[in-house]
Structure 1
Amino acid sequence: MEYVLLGGSLFVLVLLLNFFINYKAYGKQEKEWKRRRQKREEAAAKGLLVNCPLCNSPLYPGEDLFTRVYRPMSVSDQLCIIKGCPHCYPRVEEGLKRECPVCHKQIDGKTGHLVAHLFNKTSDGKKHVVIAGCNLCCKSKLN
């Protein structure tokens, strides 16, 4: 009888602990969602939202493009490869299409990317990107 009561109380204790952990994790997750929603609204009010050049989904504050910039850093024009945003790279979200803005062909989610030129403007410290095309339509330019 004592073992049954001990086992039952241990079972109830584990259930309460599990509930507490899940409740606390859900609360943290909800706070994070609320914080992100607030940042999106603030950025939209300021007009700071930018779209991904591949899938055209909006990039919210804290979301960046996956890019690779090739050296040398001292020149004003650098070769840059754009893989995508968190919505379309490394896994494409449902309902999104990755399309080249130059040739309008469908781009593969794993091996496809955009070829671009990154211009470093030293006078005001801003950077400017010009997209030349995808890895298929720019193949002749890279060789």
Structure 2
Amino acid sequence: MFIEVLVGLIGILIVIALWPVLKRPSSGPSAARGTSAARGKRHAKRSRSGLNAPAVRRCPVCHATLVPGERIRSVVFSGGTAHREIHEHTTHIFGCPHCYPNNQVHPRVCPVCDATLTRDGYLLARMFKRPGKKDHVHVLGCTDCRGPRSRRSAPRNVE
């Protein structure tokens, strides 16, 4: 009787100790980065932290935290459009030092469609430049979900 109670208590303690691990999602691109709702909560918490607080910079491709000096590899194309004082430029975002070039530790994931980017894939974005203010980047998608228009608009062979 005593041994059965002791084994039961040990089992309960093991379950309590492993509960956080058991609740965590097991696989997939959203498991590494958290669900979109969790990302939204983290973003909301950061934005309410105060105007003078240093912003936490994250890679838009792998969501790794960037330390000062780490830069995101991107290409900003010249030209673009201008409306009043805002200049809009097409941008290709490849990743940060953690995820570009491609590696297994930090998967490169599209924030729009949650697809894993190919080795030569990148994010398509718009960069808005305003004088006297920080640049604003709006990610539109990746080369798979937002590829060339000819590939997206071509009729698909559905049989």
TM-score w.r.t. length of structure 1: 0.60
Aligned match of 1:130 in 118, 121, 138?
A: 138
1:84 aligns with 2:95: yes
Query: CA separation in 1, counterparts of 2:108 and 2:146?
Result: 16
Q: Secondary structure at the match of 2:71?
A: coil
CA 1:141–1:120: 2 relative to 1, 3 Å: farther
- Asked if the contact 2:75/2:91 (under 8 Å) is kept, the reply is yes
Query: CA separation in 1, counterparts of 2:99 and 2:125?
Result: 18
The one-letter amino acid paired with 2:136 is H
Match of 2:21? none
- Deviation of residue 142 (structure 1)? 8.0
Gaps of 5+ in 2: 1-52, 152-159
Match of 1:30? none
Match of 1:99? 109
- Deviation of residue 141 (structure 1)? 4.7
After superposition, where does 1:7-22 map in structure 2 within 5 Å? none
CA 1:142–1:131: 2 relative to 1, 3 Å: farther
CA 1:64–1:142: 2 relative to 1, 3 Å: farther
- Asked if the contact 2:108/2:116 (under 8 Å) is kept, the reply is yes
Q: Secondary structure at the match of 2:74?
A: strand
Match of 2:157? none
TM-score w.r.t. length of structure 2: 0.54
Structure 1 stretches of at least 4 aligned residues deviating more than 3 Å after TM superposition? 140-143
- Asked if the contact 2:72/2:96 (under 8 Å) is kept, the reply is yes
Match of 1:68? 75
- Deviation of residue 96 (structure 1)? 1.6
The one-letter amino acid paired with 1:127 is D
Query: CA separation in 1, counterparts of 2:63 and 2:105?
Result: 12
Residues 28-55 of structure 1: per-residue CA shift (max 9 Å, x gap): xxxxxxxxxxxxxxxxxx4332111111
CA RMSD of aligned residues (A): 2.2
* Identity across matched positions, percent: 33
Gaps of 5+ in 1: 1-45
Match of 2:129? 120
Higher helix share: 1
